Amino acid sequence: MRKRIILTTAIAAVALMALSGCAGGRADTASTDAAAGFPADSTIGVALPSKTSENWVLAGGLFEDGLKEAGFTGDVQYAGASTTVKDQQDQISAMVTNGAKVIIIGAADGGQLATQVQAAQDAGAVVIAYDRLILNTEAVDYYVAYDNFKVGELQGQALLDGLATKKANGPYNIELFSGSSDDANSAVFFDGAMSVLQPKIDDGTLVVASGQTDIKQTATAGWKAENAQNRMDALLTSTYGTIALDGVLSPNDTLARAIITSVKGAGKDIPIVTGQDSEAESVKSIMAGEQYSTINKDTRVLVAQAIAMAEALQKGETVEVNDTTSYDNGAKIVPAYLLPPVIVTQENAAEAYANDPVLAPLTE
Ligand code: BGC
């Protein structure tokens, strides 16, 4: 067991939580009591955020098909791009009114759903937070996600490994990017990465030349590519007139490509850039030697796990979880089922995507 610090920065609340958790190879299987079950053709609501990355696009179709196959009536909704939070609040309220028995939520803003999920629970629905935690409410029954802290650790390590392939020794000039502050995952990814990078910053191996190391400075509002590109443009102008940029910590693939676009636009060499999500364009970029790494969080497996939870609830069986310590949402520790993320570079891409019909051909 090791101490894990999760910094959760949300618009609604800034909470500092010191949590005790254990890393990969979790042995702490636990379970919670199931409800009494419900009819097999019941409605299962799925509220997804706007399509800020490919994983969300994929998830919608997989939920539609998977819920149908399991015999449920699926009600899958996306929040719109501009009125995201209000859209999602309204969609969840409608699912409650329509009698959904389970509501699976990929939060648009994890800090702004407390009222809606409380109403869901009051109406007897079970609430499952999908991929992103819902904060500051006891009305979240389960969380299903890839291990977010591990994602960050893998990104931090990939950045170090990539830098070592560029030149044997530091100091290396790097910049740090993080995700949207309304997504509870963003701080966990960042903290995971910094658990690896901070000691190397402290010993001088890594130099964040801009001095911007605080998550408030590194955040990318809305996970939007244009915001990352603009910040990278500004950093190149302010800091990299004469010195080289060796590496960039990017929290996902969409932002990684935006960062690379910015660097190319400035006529500079492409640094080592990390990513996440295994988006097709980034896998191509990795194979072409531009982006350095991504993370494989197979959306098919995550959706299947969420649907398995709904099936267990339908049958009145115990819902399987494997982590009951890591995800304190500010009101309770949410029992979670965490899946293991996999780091992918040019070296292991073919192996990592061997069973993915879309990505495997890109690695040939
Ligand atoms: C997900 C990432 C994704 C990001 C932007 C996060 O909550 O975990 O996989 O890249 O949202 O959509």
Ligand 1 pocket: which of 52, 58, 151, 182 to mutate (most atoms within 8 A of CB): 52
Ligand 1 mean position, distance from CA 80 (Å): 16
DSSP string over 257-281: HHHHHHHHHTTPPP-EE---S--HH
Q: Whose CA is nearest to atom 8 of ligand 1?
A: 131
Ligand 1 geometric centre to CA of 53 (Å): 7
Going from the Cα of 299 to the center of ligand 1, the distance in angstroms, rounded, reads 11
How is 139-180 classified by DSSP, letter by letter? ---EEEEE-HHHHHHHHHHHHHHHHHHH-SS--EEEEE----
Its pTM stands at 0.90
Q: What domains can be seen in the chain, in order of their start residue? A: 4-147+299-340 (3.40.50.2300), 149-296 (3.40.50.2300)
- Atom 6 (ligand 1): residue with closest C-alpha? 185
CA distance readout (Å), 36 to 55, 318, 335: 33, 10, 19
Please give the number of the atom of ligand 1 that sits closest to the Cα of 189. Answer: 8
Name the residue with the closest Cα to ligand 1, atom 9: 277
Pick the atom of ligand 1 nearest to 131's CA: 8
Q: How far apart are CA 154 and CA 359, in angstroms?
A: 20
Per-residue pLDDT tens digits of the chain, which is 364 residues long:
333 333 333 333 333 333 333 333 333 344 444 457 999 999 999 999 999 899 999 999 999 999 999 999 999 999 987 788 999 999 999 999 999 999 999 999 999 999 999 999 999 999 999 999 999 999 999 999 999 999 999 999 999 999 999 999 999 999 999 999 999 999 999 999 999 999 999 999 999 999 999 999 999 999 999 999 999 999 999 999 999 999 999 999 999 999 999 999 999 999 999 999 999 999 999 999 999 999 999 999 999 999 999 999 999 999 999 999 999 999 999 999 999 999 999 999 999 999 999 999 999 9
pLDDT of residue 82: 78
- Taking CB atoms and a 6 Å cutoff, what residues make up the pocket around ligand 1? 52-53, 55-56, 131-132, 179, 183, 185, 223, 252, 276-277
